[in-house]
């Protein structure tokens, strides 16, 4: 459930004052739930072994961890490195400055249960295929803490050198009729921001929890919570929390429909705090093992405490995957959400995302991939007097060629193009990034 930050997200600039986070009480509650799962996990039965492994080639499974030790405490490490050439490191419309950049990021995770697959994926290599031996377990239960210190080194602009931090505490408990999971996540990083139009220091405190339970043979209930507090060095902080409750009904073996309600609160350091509600319908369709689709659509009702008129708008999210053939996969996703601007006081950002990718495997270990997307950011005032009139259209595309060096190591060469077309001239830019990335799961 980790909330991943990408260049496509309008992040914004940093805070002049730190507000007292109203989500602190919820963080403490989720920490107690996670700690309880951690304490009880040691007494849980070991998941049944995967029969498919019995017929596997011994040489192929020699590097996979034994599932019989899932209840033992273990240390898992991962090392990643990315060397890039970026022709516009400050995402400026004029006088772009280029540089060679090196990212070094070791990850250390300690816990118990089947958590290796939770840290195996590597963001710059979206199809990182390290085999952990946990992919086909009937149940995945874990409790772990991980820390990633990421060093970023510039060749010519050494004043931009930085050390980013990522700390994650996550747990999952699963039974035949119910499951629950939660996480606490701290991220402290310096990166380019579309909202601010440059590089800035950003800090995120995230808490999330979810529980699902089978109420009858065809009806499932679910509850969820998500909260994030965002700080920016020199910009405007914000806190967004929301809870979700819903039901899902299986109308057929491969199709289910559902209804849920989201209720949330957005607190901003400069501007009007807001409450919002989202009644949503959901459809989940999995006709075969090769095709899956999940879509949600509904209406958002947002209130501004009487400072301005209430607003209503259509909101949605969608994701789909298709394994067209052996070694060929296609993915599509889209969503619409409201964020708080960290660059401009009393401004919300209505962000709409569309993204797609295709990957083709050649010769068992070679992968060619293409990904691209579009983001539309519309700025809207949350006070009677609007401060700006800004619209951004952000486009990005990436081509990659990767190879699995071992069962746990991948290397990739890639090229990415990014462009932002903004109604405010100082925020438009084009950017070209060529990278070589390597990742290995120990």
Please give the DSSP secondary-structure letter assigned to residue 20: P
Structural domains counted in the chain: 1
CB within 8 A of 426, min separation 6: which ones? 93, 197
Q: What is the mean pLDDT of residues 399-428?
A: 92
Answer yes or no: are the C-beta atoms of 193 and 203 closer than 8 Å.
no
Grade residue 121 by pLDDT with cuts at 50, 70 and 90. Answer: low
pLDDT surpasses 70 at 62: no
**Is residue 267, in this structure, part of any structural domain at all?**
yes
**Is residue 374, in this structure, part of any structural domain at all?**
yes
Comparing 126-135, 136-145, 320-329, the range with the smallest average pLDDT is 126-135
pLDDT surpasses 80 at 46: no
**Model pLDDT for residues 262-280, shown as the tens digit of each residue:** 999 999 998 899 999 999 9
pLDDT surpasses 60 at 38: no
Longest dimension (CA), the chain: 69
**Is residue 223, in this structure, part of any structural domain at all?**
yes
**Is residue 196, in this structure, part of any structural domain at all?**
yes
pLDDT surpasses 90 at 421: yes
pLDDT at position 252 is: 93
Domain enclosing residue 250, as ranges: 24-53+74-441
Could you write out the DSSP letters of every residue in 271-296? S--EEEEEEEEEEEEEEETTEEEEEE
pLDDT surpasses 60 at 298: yes
**Is residue 111, in this structure, part of any structural domain at all?**
yes
Continuous H helices in 83-239:
116-119
pLDDT surpasses 80 at 124: no
Considering the chain, what is the average pLDDT of its residues? 83
**Is residue 282, in this structure, part of any structural domain at all?**
yes
pLDDT at position 13 is: 32
Q: What does the alpha-carbon distance between residue 380 and residue 382 come to, in Å, rounded to a whole number?
A: 7
**Model pLDDT for residues 354-371, shown as the tens digit of each residue:** 999 999 988 888 899 999
**Model pLDDT for residues 196-255, shown as the tens digit of each residue:** 999 999 999 999 999 999 999 999 999 999 999 999 998 899 999 999 999 999 999 999
Q: What is the mean pLDDT of residues 20-47?
A: 38
**Is residue 5, in this structure, part of any structural domain at all?**
no
Closest CA to 210 of 45, 48, 37: 37
pLDDT at position 384 is: 83
pLDDT surpasses 60 at 315: yes
Question: Who has greater pLDDT, 13 or 347?
Answer: 347
pLDDT surpasses 80 at 16: no
- The HSE-up count of residue 414 (CA atoms within 13 Å, CB side) is 30
pLDDT at position 405 is: 84
Answer yes or no: are the C-beta atoms of 189 and 200 closer than 8 Å.
no
**Tokens representing 205?**
């405190």
Q: What is the mean pLDDT of residues 139-166?
A: 94
Question: Who has greater pLDDT, 19 or 280?
Answer: 280
Comparing 291-295, 327-331, 415-419, the range with the smallest average pLDDT is 327-331
Rounded to two decimals, what is the model's pTM? Answer: 0.81
**Is residue 385, in this structure, part of any structural domain at all?**
yes
Q: What does the alpha-carbon distance between residue 290 and residue 300 come to, in Å, rounded to a whole number?
A: 33
Handedness of CA 18, 21, 24, 26 (dihedral sign): negative
Q: What does the alpha-carbon distance between residue 162 and residue 203 come to, in Å, rounded to a whole number?
A: 14
pLDDT at position 404 is: 85
* Domain harbouring 190, CATH code: 2.40.160
pLDDT at position 332 is: 96
pLDDT surpasses 50 at 4: no
Which contacts qualify for 4-8: CB closer than 8 Å, 24 or more apart? Answer: 4/123, 5/187, 5/189, 5/191, 5/202, 5/204, 6/123, 7/191, 7/192, 7/194, 7/396, 7/418, 8/194, 8/353, 8/355, 8/373, 8/375, 8/394, 8/396
**Tokens representing 376?**
């539309």
pLDDT surpasses 80 at 6: no
CB within 8 A of 234, min separation 6: which ones? 13, 14, 15, 16, 200
pLDDT surpasses 50 at 417: yes
pLDDT surpasses 90 at 393: yes
């Amino acid at each position: 459930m980790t909330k991943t930050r990408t260049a496509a997200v309008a992040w914004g600039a940093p805070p002049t004052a730190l507000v007292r986070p109203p989500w602190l009480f919820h963080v403490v509650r989720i920490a107690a739930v996670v700690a309880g799962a951690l304490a009880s996990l040691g007494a849980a039965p070991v998941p049944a072994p995967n029969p498919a492994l019995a017929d596997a080639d011994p040489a192929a499974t020699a590097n996979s961890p034994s599932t019989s030790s899932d209840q033992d405490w273990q240390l898992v490490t991962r090392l990643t490195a990315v060397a890039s050439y970026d022709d516009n490191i400050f995402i400026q419309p004029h006088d772009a400055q280029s540089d060679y950049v090196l990212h070094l990021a070791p990850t250390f995770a300690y816990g118990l249960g089947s958590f290796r697959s939770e840290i195996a994926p590597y963001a710059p290599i979206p199809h990182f295929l390290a085999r952990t031996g946990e992919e086909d377990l009937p149940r995945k239960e874990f409790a772990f803490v991980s820390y990633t210190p990421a060093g970023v080194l510039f060749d010519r602009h050494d004043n931009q050198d930085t050390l980013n931090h990522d700390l994650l505490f996550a747990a999952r408990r699963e039974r035949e009729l119910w499951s629950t999971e939660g996480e606490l996540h701290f991220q402290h990083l310096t990166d380019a921001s579309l909202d601010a139009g440059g590089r800035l220091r950003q800090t995120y405190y995230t808490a999330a929890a979810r529980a699902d339970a089978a109420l009858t043979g065809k009806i499932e209930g679910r509850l969820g919570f998500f909260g994030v507090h965002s700080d920016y060095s020199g910009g405007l902080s914000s806190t967004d929390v929301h809870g979700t409750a819903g039901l899902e009904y299986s109308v057929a073996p491969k199709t289910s429909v559902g209804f849920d309600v989201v209720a949330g609160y957005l607190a901003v350091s400069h501007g009007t705090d807001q409450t919002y509600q989202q009644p949503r319908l959901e459809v989940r369709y999995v006709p075969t093992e090769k095709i899956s689709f999940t879509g949600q659509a509904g209406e958002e009702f947002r209130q501004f405490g009487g400072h301005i008129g209430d607003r209503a708008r259509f909101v949605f999210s969608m994701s789909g995957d298709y394994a067209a053939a052996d070694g060929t996969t296609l993915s599509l996703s889209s969503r619409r959400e409201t964020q708080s601007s960290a660059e401009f006081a009393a401004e919300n950002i209505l962000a709409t995302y569309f993204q797609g990718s295709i990957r083709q495997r050649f010769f068992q270990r070679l992968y060619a991939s293409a990904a691209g997307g579009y983001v539309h950011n519309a700025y809207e005032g949350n006070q009677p007097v609007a401060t700006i009139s800004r619209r951004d259209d952000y486009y990005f595309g990436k081509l990659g060629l990767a190879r699995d060096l071992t069962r746990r190591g991948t290397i990739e060469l890639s090229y990415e193009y990014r462009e932002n077309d903004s109604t405010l001239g100082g925020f438009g830019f084009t950017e070209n990034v060529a990278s070589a990335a390597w990742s290995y799961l120990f």
